[in-house]
Chain A
């Protein structure tokens, strides 16, 4: 049963704002887009595959939210500029950018450091790092103009502890932390906040893997003080909404683990 949108904790928090979410055709990105829409933001749903973005838009529309889909490869300079322009043309501005896109299945592939190729690294960097750069550069004039700009980068706990199983993904996500801290200092004078979120969430591939490997699932979940993986929408999405809202307008330059207590070593 679908909950009445007006009774959700995020209801109305982002009324009048426009958000662009990358990698929003599924998983965490879709959850974030849905949460932003439930908070009354108008959402530009972007991703490499148009049909999956359409599905996200349809899910938002069914709940009374407002969203449009824009097919966009986040590593494509022209496509990013076009998506930002579409947001401004359709909704009159751009207040929030959430850079969630990752290099798909590659990011979860265990690999020895001496077996990593340049292609492995650069293919993932094109999406994660170039995507952040291109989105930031294209969005800046609009985030400035709105007076309450928000730029959020989705990182990973891998980027905090440096996971042995996936050095490239870990390094790129660690780099995101530096990006967030530095850009927050650079954009602070414009009134724009820049923050990172390190999520742990149950996405569809995770659920499939756990269904096939229940012993691993049970061991893994014991690492979480809250005993579960987060929901892309209710846990990760709402954290994004909070950071984008006026409630957390004084928070910037932070990399916030939203992970059920997995990572506390600071």
Chain B
């Protein structure tokens, strides 16, 4: 954290495995972090929760948002009910939309940064996780559209893919595709990034002056497993 930006952070990632460690890492870099719990299922609920968090923080510089893997997954698509599917896809995307909408009034005047977290596996797909990956790719695209609309307000948005190891037990039974690389086992850096130090440092970088000309980006924090073509 460079001491002038991103000191007030709202984490809207209820139940997301790496969320707590990421928040702790940001706090250790000097940020004040407000952690949102479950925010309800309406835009008004989200607005109330975000407004309360910003009152507690004093202002808002950075929003970090992510969606936890639902209990219904991993599972084959044909084993899911329509209700499971809707909750995991359009229901969750609506919550992301509400989060962005609720943050906008607090960022519109001074600008700021929004980082949406997702699984790096979204870039390659994963069996048993069709709804979650569908959602992640939709969130990644919504980030780009919002970056285009809100750049004029100096609001910058990014999508940050986290390697499966950061999700811990949530992905214990999932079949995450291995990178098609022969030789020494991945990742390229020889270690798996963690949420506490690595993700927090990257999020802080994205919110700082060094990334002031960057928006709508897709970044993949997996130590060099999957490299975008």
Contact = CB atoms under 8 A, between A and B. Distances in A.
Interface of A: 77, 112-114, 116-118, 121-122, 125-126, 129-130, 133-134, 136-137, 140, 159-164, 166-167, 170-186, 253, 266
Contact of B122 (A121, A140, A161, A178): A178
A223 B76 CA distance: 40
A171 B128 contact: no
Interface of B: 42-43, 76-78, 80, 82, 85-86, 89-90, 93-94, 97, 100-101, 104, 122, 124-130, 133-150, 177, 216, 229
Nearest to B149: A164
A171 B146 CA distance: 10
Contact of B133 (A77, A113, A172, A182): A182
B133 A178 contact: yes
A170 B229 contact: no
Contacts of A125: 86, 89-90, 93
A262 B216 CA distance: 19
17 contacts: A112-B149, A113-B100, A129-B85, A137-B78, A159-B141, A164-B145, A164-B148, A171-B138, A171-B145, A174-B137, A174-B138, A174-B142, A175-B141, A180-B125, A182-B125, A182-B134, A186-B77
B145 A162 contact: yes
B89 A171 contact: no
Contact of B130 (A112, A121, A159, A183): A183
Contacts of B139: 171
* Closest A-B pairs by Cβ, 6 of them: A162-B144, A174-B141, A181-B125, A178-B137, A175-B138, A164-B148
A184 B125 contact: yes
A85 B100 CA distance: 42
Given A182-B134, A253-B125, A122 B77 contact: no
A133 to B, nearest CB: 5
